Structure 1
Amino acid sequence: MASVLIYARPWNEAQFYDLANRTWPKTSVGIISEHSDVDQSGFFKYFYSYFEESKKYSNILPYIEFDNDEVSSIVIRCRLLRSIPYSLALQLIFSASNAINQVLDEQHPNYVLSVTVDSYIIDLLARLSRKKGARFIGLAPTFVNGYFRITERGEKAVNREVSADEVESVLAMLTDQKYKPQWLAPDRGTIRKKAVKLWARNLVKPMWFAFYSRWKNDPLNAHYMTTDIVSRRYLSLFPRLYNEVGKVADVQTAIEKDTRTSVFLPLQMSPEATIDYWSSDLSWIDYEEKILSTVKRQSEKHLFIVKEHPNVFGFRTPGFYDELRQINNVVLVNPEVSSNDLLQICDSVLVCTGTVGFEALVRGKAVFSSSEPFYAEPSVFRSLDDEVGDCHVYAPSELVEYLLSGFLPGTFNNDGSWGNDLKSGKLNNEVVADSLRNYIGDSE
């Protein structure tokens, strides 16, 4: 009988357990987690035991089973590990990798089901599962409503055949000027309310997680430590919102008055796995610094139309918006302005891995990126030093066919909302499970 190991957190434990049982009926299912109230595998206990052992070594690096390049990648791509002393980061890698190995040796899973890699814990789980011969399946939602994808760290893992009817249906949906992915806030009022709520929650997080980690007797919990570090970085006594250009017509006027090439720059959520783990260019990991340095370096050539991501409006380091305002080749646009409308009037788009880049490609726009986003062949993306007029225009249907060949039908939510409508959630899981069964059968 096959064995499945789930990586779960408190907010998605029931969702993943239900999904695993639907995908692999009558199969042994276990749960691994850094959260003590979810973990069924012993990882939590093993981790702290190995951490005590790590204190015996003056230089722990030789006792970690990964080479120096792998260790460097594990550290720099994890928002927690790169923010703490290197010696502590190595202790955590040593402890977690040994604990994961012990769980894998005890349970011998054929499959490991998880969200896509978004922390050093899942990074190690994916690497070690591969070494042990277990198949790691990382799930991620997509910007195309009704589809999800399988990916370990951003790569295109699925290659399925897509019908012409499916391509045309999705192309029509994506090119509708009113289309929005289901996770985006829908309007100005919602965006502003969400921003204030995000600020208020962040204000109390440092104190709460300092207390909570001690109450749970879990001071090295990756989620608690990460949340504390990130919340402190973005801490502000007041919401950091802005009221800049709020109408597309005003943006168009600014573009027409300027002789430089217009580049739409939709800001991405950060820190986020889509940057930390999905970008092939590590310089994007310090996202805000990368944005500021890039627009300044291109001041003579490009006019940047910068719009904040609706779901992280206000959740930036103090002074970031002010710095953007002071750069003479930046037009800062309110987040409620439609990205589709901005795509219509801008010459090109700059992204790290953001999916607005794909929406630009199907509209015949040049897309600049150094990160090799998953949704198109690397040759499609250009450098900011290229001339926009030299960029090849690709057939929209071919672009959508390539995109969908890496997606699977089904709705996978990764926002903790699964239990809010249990009936709907289970129906979604059944479609996702059916796609997973077909994918596993076709690829084995």
Structure 2
Amino acid sequence: MNVLIYSIHRTEAWWRHIGKNLGFENSFVVSDLRGEGDFCVVDAFNARTEYHYREKSAFNDLLTEDEIDDVIARCRLLRFLPRRRAVSMILAMSDAFSDVLQKSNPAAILSFPIDRYVSDVLKRVAQKRNIPFYELTASAFPDMAMLMQRGDLVSTEEDPTPELVSERVKEIVEPLFLPSYVSNSKSFGKIQFLRTFLYFRARAIAFKAISIWKRDRFNLHYLDAQSFLGHKPKITDIRILDLTDDGWEEQLTRFPKEKRVFFGLQLFPEASIDYWIEDRDLIAHERLIFEAVKAFSEAGYLVLVKDHPLQFGFRQKELIEKILKFENVCFLPYEVSGNHVLSHCGVSFTCTGTLGLQAALMGIKSIVTPNYYSNSQDFILIEDFDQVKQLPKTVEATPDVADLEERRNRIVSNLLSGSFVGEFFSFEGFSKQPQYSDVARFAQSVGQRLKALIE
């Protein structure tokens, strides 16, 4: 059996080592970066892009117009490009990947989670050939990883032992717990904002130059860095730091705990929102946040809004300015711990973020969209936009958790059924200081999972 791996910038060496140790007959790496991968789609993509643009193509044998609409709506880049250009890029990538799949004949595709149109198109073209696309990512538990498919956890049939469940419950409900991808050492001041802003503006200029030098003007990697995209911050967004409320804790005494709702904002744009949520109306994230904050404010709740620490320097001020016009809404300082805020609230709102998981484990009423950790018993699920205005009533009609230990065991058991030991973040710095033995063992665990799924 063969496996095809889609690699992104600075991960090719790591993925090659993963592929060699998966235990498959052959592993191939495909890349959309010039000079990388066993299959590099750059030249084919560029040629087909110009063809489809010139011909004003609307679809091809691989993707329908409806599918193309969905690809555009979900991609942080394509939604800001002229439609004719976006369509030509989608069709060109589908042509290029179709050729790669024909040559590599994989039993499965492995990559990081789908986050933009390139991997989305690869998944759709593979699906037409009945080839499964598995997404490798970090588990909610430190030192563990998991496989997913568009936000759905790929689980095994084996139940974790009660001892392991108990151990991991204690770990994840620890007040100082942070997901493995979040650091608690970052500073959040105006000087740091300016440094971040100027660095990424300079990066955009550099990437533009590189795209011209490499004759690859429409490459996702270079275009995604450009400041013309609608979600990119402006220098005036530094004002967002003046909107934070240092005295937010003083507001707590005015509202009982059950009338305090915590909004843990996620990264924007966020791949898990764009690609895990079925209803396209719900992926209009800022509109969703605005309407949900409005609903809770009008229902008499104290609304505590906390931005994601990794969003610092990238959040546009307009959303925050709009929601602060509602009564009893506070925007919290970046350095405040999300878990600390959760401990003061009876309700939590996020889409796919880890704070939604932590809220449920703390016994809080947790509002989320369906994702790898959620279920209908322990979470309030948002599955279409029409539910948003009724969320306060839904919360009030939802009984408090009767047995918190049982809930914790149920959620953690499900997560563990799809998690396995391995250092997912070993790709960071791998090309400079490769940890071959550790990554080989990790790859073997991934390979065993893949084989069990496709054999």
Q: Report if TM-score (shorter chain) is over 0.5.
A: yes
Aligned residues: 435
Return the letter of the residue paired with 2:52: S
Return the letter of the residue paired with 2:439: N
- Offset from partner CA, 1:284-306 (integer Å, 9 cap, x none): 42322322232123322122111
The aligned counterpart of 2:84 is 87
The aligned counterpart of 1:155 is 152
Which moved further from structure 2: 232-241 or 119-128?
A: 232-241
Secondary structure of 1:102's counterpart equals helix
**Structure 1 portions without partners, runs of 5+:** none
- Offset from partner CA, 1:331-380 (integer Å, 9 cap, x none): 111122122221111011001111111111111110113x2122021343
After superposition, the Cα gap between the structure-2 partners of 1:48 and 1:168, relative to the gap in structure 1 and judged at 3 Å, is: same
After superposition, the Cα gap between the structure-2 partners of 1:262 and 1:186, relative to the gap in structure 1 and judged at 3 Å, is: same
After superposition, the Cα gap between the structure-2 partners of 1:70 and 1:258, relative to the gap in structure 1 and judged at 3 Å, is: same
Return the letter of the residue paired with 1:355: T
The aligned counterpart of 2:387 is none
Return the letter of the residue paired with 2:328: N
**1:133 deviation in Å?**
4.0
**1:70 deviation in Å?**
2.2
The one of 399, 424, 438 equivalent to 1:391 is: 399
CA distance in 2, matches of 1:191, 1:140: 31
Return the letter of the residue paired with 1:113: L
CA distance in 1, matches of 2:191, 2:425: 22
Determine whether 1:49 maps to 2:59: no
After superposition, the Cα gap between the structure-2 partners of 1:38 and 1:195, relative to the gap in structure 1 and judged at 3 Å, is: farther
The aligned counterpart of 2:418 is 406
**1:102 deviation in Å?**
0.8
Confirm or deny: 8 A CA contact 1:141 1:149 kept in the other structure: yes
After superposition, the Cα gap between the structure-2 partners of 1:96 and 1:49, relative to the gap in structure 1 and judged at 3 Å, is: same
The aligned counterpart of 2:386 is none
Secondary structure of 2:224's counterpart equals helix
Superposition RMSD in Å: 2.5
After superposition, the Cα gap between the structure-2 partners of 1:282 and 1:427, relative to the gap in structure 1 and judged at 3 Å, is: farther
Return the letter of the residue paired with 2:419: F
CA distance in 2, matches of 1:418, 1:155: 28
Return the letter of the residue paired with 1:442: A
TM-score by length of 1: 0.89
After superposition, the Cα gap between the structure-2 partners of 1:64 and 1:104, relative to the gap in structure 1 and judged at 3 Å, is: same
Return the letter of the residue paired with 1:429: V
The aligned counterpart of 1:61 is 58
Secondary structure of 1:235's counterpart equals coil
Which moved further from structure 2: 345-354 or 316-325?
A: 316-325
Confirm or deny: 8 A CA contact 1:268 1:309 kept in the other structure: yes
- Offset from partner CA, 1:387-444 (integer Å, 9 cap, x none): 3463352521111111221222212128744445422xx3542342232133134333
CA distance in 2, matches of 1:83, 1:283: 17
Return the letter of the residue paired with 2:302: L
After superposition, the Cα gap between the structure-2 partners of 1:107 and 1:48, relative to the gap in structure 1 and judged at 3 Å, is: same
Secondary structure of 2:3's counterpart equals strand
Confirm or deny: 8 A CA contact 1:191 1:313 kept in the other structure: no
Return the letter of the residue paired with 1:347: G
Which moved further from structure 2: 168-177 or 108-117?
A: 108-117
CA distance in 2, matches of 1:330, 1:434: 49
Confirm or deny: 8 A CA contact 2:59 2:68 kept in the other structure: no
Return the letter of the residue paired with 2:162: A
CA distance in 2, matches of 1:152, 1:271: 19
The one of 140, 163, 168 equivalent to 1:165 is: 163
TM-score by length of 2: 0.87
CA distance in 1, matches of 2:99, 2:42: 11
Taking only the aligned residue pairs, the percentage that are identical comes to 24
Secondary structure of 2:152's counterpart equals coil
